[in-house]
Amino acid sequence: MSSAAIIGAGSVGSTIASFLIWGGAYEEIIMVDVNKERCQGEVMDLQDAGFLTDTQVRMGDFKDASSASIVIITAGAKQRKGETREALLKRNVRILSSIAKSILPVSKETLVLLVANPVDILTQIFQEISGIPRERVFGSGTFLDTMRLRTELAQRYNVAATHIHTYIVGMHGDLQIPLWGVGNVGSVPVEEFFRLTEKDKKAIGAAARDKAYKIINAKGSTYYGIGACVAKLSAGFTQNRHQIYQLSAWHPKYGCYLSWPAVVSKKGIQDIVPVALTVEEKAVVDKAAATIKFGVKNALNPQMSKL
């Protein structure tokens, strides 16, 4: 039976589950959360939507997750008032360490998708503390940022977002950069098709990068966009589509996890797409890689590197 185990039944986890039900991607969806009452409530609510695709939804535990087709981890600590990013990261490391200990050993076919932020750093940390092969552990990375970039272009120039092929690479957050030079629309370079000026590119890139802040200021959190992205990502892997997705994956050239285009299959990350960078793009990616490495090293004590 194909199944997705979602660890964390909050707004993001539950929204991901609803998109998975709508798409009929799995026969069964298992919700796992330390807050049993909240989790049971979400399960009952989601079960009422299961008739759309005959998807079974139930509450489970970490043992159930260990044999799922894919484990989607949304659980993570929220930043407290006055708390430093370093302190928040270390709290999230403790959460991930607890999750890893609880689900191990996992099936040899089980994939793990991280959603909690800072996603590039936490994805690498989870891989290191769990020991699950790198190709089977990945994060949502800049997938949503890339979709926001394509949507921004679509809205400005009246071209369907699904026909705009360009990516944002680096690190989800401030150290991300659009790859204008390699993008295309109907085989025509993005810059040429839309006649983009440097001013246009800066404005569009900033709009994609900063949209989350605007949403959070208006309603407190974001979950529809990331829910749709994670549902599409997870199905791309487990349904063996061999498609190219923008996500956080191990990049051997940089020696760390990095948001980058990759070919996916039911075995995990199949290939990293070789992308030519400009001098400016390389500078941002280099800084992103250094930041991710520092974050991982700073958060993990040597004795925590293995369970």
The pLDDT score that the predictor gives to residue 301 is 65
Adjacent-strand bridge partners of 73: 7, 114
Place of tokens 């040597």: 302
- Tell me which of 163, 165, 172, 251 is the catalytic residue: 172
Residue 89's pLDDT is 83
Report, as an integer, the average pLDDT of 83-105: 86
Least confident of 47-61, 75-89, 143-157, 268-282: 75-89
Task: Give me the DSSP letters along 235-266.
Answer: HHHHTT---EEEEEEEETTTTEEEEEEEEEET
Q: What is the pTM of this model?
A: 0.93
The pLDDT > 90 percentage for the chain reads 86
Condensed to tens digits (0 to 9), the pLDDT of residues 205-233 reads 999 999 988 998 899 889 999 999 999 99
Q: What is the pLDDT of residues 171-212, one digit of tens each?
A: 998 899 999 999 999 999 999 999 999 999 999 999 999 998
The reply to whether 165 belongs to the active site is: no
pLDDT at 81: 64
Closest C-alpha among 248, 229, 71 to residue 168: 248
Average pLDDT, the chain: 93
What pLDDT sits at residue 304?
Answer: 46
For the stretch 99-156, pLDDT in tens is 999 999 999 999 999 998 889 999 999 999 999 999 999 999 999 999 999 999 999 9
